[in-house]
Amino acid sequence: MTKSAAKSEPSMPRRPNIIWVFGDQHRGCATGYAGDPNLHTPHLDRMATEGTVFRNAVAGTPLCCPFRGSLLTSRYPHHCIPGHQDPMPDGMPTVADAFNHAGYDTAWFGKWHVDGFKEQTGRPAFHTVPRERRGGFNYWMGYENNLSGFDCWLHGHDQSGNEVERFRLDGYETDGITNLLIDYLEGKSTEGQAVRGKEGIDLADPDPFFAALSVMPPHNPFIAPAEWMERHTPGSIQLRPNVPPDEGIREQAARELAGYYAMIENLDHNLGRLREALDRLGLYENTIILFFSDHGDMMGSHGQMRKTSVYQESLNIPFVVGGGIPFYGSDGLVKPQVLNHPINHVDIAATSLGLCGIEPPAEMAGFNYAPHIGWTDQEAPPPPESAYLQYCKPSRYGRCIDRPWRGIVTADGWKYACFEYQPWVLFDLNADPYEFNNRAFYRMSHARQHQLQAQLQEWIEKTGDEFQLPEMGHSAG
């Protein structure tokens, strides 16, 4: 669907705002636009219809802490946060530092989970993240980790740099943290800036900002406000075809998915609130929104629960770029689109900077997909043919893959992963989207497997990783 652009020679807005909106454990298939029959996500679906959908987006490390370290720094986990509850290295530059250097205001709201607090030593919601370990954000109001959506505590520092003592949010976490972001946006409107003493505001180029809304839902425990929980019952849930006929697994998956979908619909509702606030404040038309997640949840598929797996339910995440800035194609028309590029966790920071016309710092390892999303006056180099996947350290989760592995997923729909010295899985996702047919040990698939392992070896060498791939036998051609 396209419509005529308002101007014949599209060009990039001078300094667009950018907002990240992401939950925890939100798998890519659990959206309306992806066809999930169990839920309604009208605000995200509208954003997908109007913007750019990366249908093959991946959590290159499908685990909270390593993903978030790579998200913030655009470095691979083995150079940043290799395992669960490992700390992000002191002084490592973040995406906020790059935005600050470009003259942006930066703000973080919600879950952090990169300070290395060991959950076995106490409740992480009451851990204080030191000022110097808040990623360089000008305004930071968050928490290390929290597993209680109705008992969410935050701390941090405000826009004036004043420390804010820990306080308890009223109500449900996603609602309350969205309220904080909207309050922040109130001060970013022309009227709000005037109240704060800023004169001569240029309506076409307002004071730019980069803000992140990071919430725990739809992570377990799967409980949302009553009005959302009432919409779903375990008996009405349609499970994915790859959930095995194990009564215990199916009962658990259906029960948990009822709450999971309620949490996602509440998150979608708050995405709508955010859009309404941006529109009301005159900020929407100069703001880009990126909606994604840090990884998925197996929810019984292949008999597994939670994350850390290379299967799609764990690995594939929603990823939509939208907002009020129209992205033009070479024909001068507004360009809603669906891309097959497997955008990875290290690519998000680089792409976000690129969308604002900021050159990503040299130390960032990620690919800048902005030219493939946006304006015709940007050169669009060929994107990577594959994304590099890693699980570097065991996490000791119960019903999850808990052995280090490496893999790749390709733009043309193949996935290959292995343990050290041992092949694991090979899937043709185009023919087998539910990953029933593991081809890793088929002689007829040796040629393809050789090709993919060679690509995987290139990634290992390119990123300075250390991992011993299995020996490959002779190809059958």
Beta bridge partners of 157: 140, 163
Catalytic pick from 26, 43, 64, 84?
A: 64
Catalytic pick from 43, 79, 113, 269?
A: 113
Two tokens at 41? 């996500």
In this prediction, residue 193 carries a pLDDT of 60
CATH number for the segment(s) 17-384:
3.40.720.10
In this prediction, residue 263 carries a pLDDT of 98
Q: Identify the H or E element spanning 292.
A: strand 287-293
Q: List own/partner pairs for 465-472 with CB under 8 A and 24 or more apart.
A: 465/76, 465/78, 465/390, 465/406, 466/78, 467/404, 467/406, 467/420, 468/420, 468/421, 469/406, 469/418, 469/420, 469/421, 470/418, 470/419, 470/420, 470/421, 470/422, 470/423, 471/421, 472/446
All CATH 3.40.720.10 domain ranges of the chain, comma separated, are 17-384
Q: What is the DSSP string of 138-195?
A: SEEEEES--S-TTS-EEEEE-TTS-EEEEEEPSS-HHHHHHHHHHHHHHHHSHHHHHH
Query: 113 catalytic, yes or no?
Result: yes
In this prediction, residue 119 carries a pLDDT of 80
Distance separating alpha carbons of residues 255 and 257, to the nearest angstrom: 6
Angle subtended at Cα 435 by Cα 433 and Cα 440, rounded to the nearest 5 degrees: 125
Q: pLDDT tens digits for the chain (477 residues)?
A: 333 333 344 455 568 999 999 999 999 999 999 999 999 999 999 999 999 999 999 999 999 999 999 999 999 999 999 999 899 999 999 999 999 999 999 999 999 999 989 887 889 999 999 999 999 999 999 999 999 999 999 999 999 999 999 999 999 999 999 999 999 999 988 665 654 555 544 544 557 999 999 999 999 999 999 999 999 999 999 999 999 999 999 999 999 999 999 999 999 999 999 999 999 999 999 999 999 999 999 999 999 999 999 999 999 999 999 998 877 766 666 778 999 999 999 999 999 999 999 999 999 999 999 999 975 466 788 999 999 999 998 877 767 788 899 999 999 999 999 999 999 999 999 999 999 999 999 989 999 999 999 999 999 999 999 999 998 765 443
Distance separating alpha carbons of residues 322 and 189, to the nearest angstrom: 20
In this prediction, residue 8 carries a pLDDT of 41
- Residue-wise pLDDT for 4-34, tens only, equals 333 344 455 568 999 999 999 999 999 999 9
Instruction: Tell me whether residue 349 is exposed, middle or buried, using C-beta atoms within 10 angstroms of its C-beta: 0 to 12, 13 to 18, 19 or more.
Output: buried
Q: What is the CA radius of gyration of the chain?
A: 22
DSSP at 58 = B
Phi-psi region of 384 (alpha: psi -120 to 50; beta: other; left: phi over 0): beta
Distance separating alpha carbons of residues 117 and 86, to the nearest angstrom: 8
Distance separating alpha carbons of residues 390 and 434, to the nearest angstrom: 21
Distance separating alpha carbons of residues 65 and 97, to the nearest angstrom: 20
Q: Where are the alpha helices (DSSP H) in 189-293?
A: 190-195, 226-229, 247-280
